[in-house]
Amino acid sequence: MWLRCRSRSRMADANLHAVEDAGGVPYIPFKKDAVAVRKDGTADPLWTKMYHLFTMQEAEFNRHYHKRSNVETVFHMLKAKFGDRVRAKTPVAQVNEVLMKALCHNLVVLVHTMYALDVVPAFDPQGGHLLRPAA
């Protein structure tokens, strides 16, 4: 099962059901004026279920929804660091280029974290493996 998080502007019954039909859980935040029951008295069961989850279990809902902001942050960092264009021509080369940008980004984050947390890696001279410090 997968999760789908969208912005508030795209909230609609169709989106909720499209995510559920694909086997996901639609963590889409509701607008401030949203209600569980429509003005005509009808209610979509999925809409009502997600609305109640959003209003009554806000921490649980937000735990899932805010994974989206982490993804958006990584995309922003990648674009800021390497630009928003993929220069390769063939589809295989394009995938490889994007994967290489992701690898380089992860290395930069790793090195930054090592310096920020004052972590000194220790490698096994025989096999090149990272040694774990004894607990």
86 or 44: which leads in pLDDT: 86
Q: pLDDT (tens digit, 9 = 90+) per residue, 32-81?
A: 887 777 777 777 888 888 888 888 998 988 898 888 888 899 999 999 99
Residue by residue, DSSP assigns the chain as -EEEE--GGG--HHHHHHHHHTTEEEE-PPPTT--SS-TTS---HHHHHHHHHHHHSHHHHHHHHTHHHHHHHHHHHHHHHH-S----SSHHHHHHHHHHHHHHHHHHHHHHHHHHTT----B-TTT-PBPPPP-
Between 25 and 127, the more confident residue is 25
Residue of 111 and 128 predicted with greater confidence: 111
| Residue entry with tokens 């490698």 | 123
Band (106; pLDDT cuts 50, 70, 90): very high
Domain ranges of the chain: 2-65, 85-135
Q: Which amino acid is at 55?
A: T
State the pLDDT at residue 133.
58
70 against 1, higher pLDDT: 70
Round to whole Å and give the CA distance between 64 and 35.
21
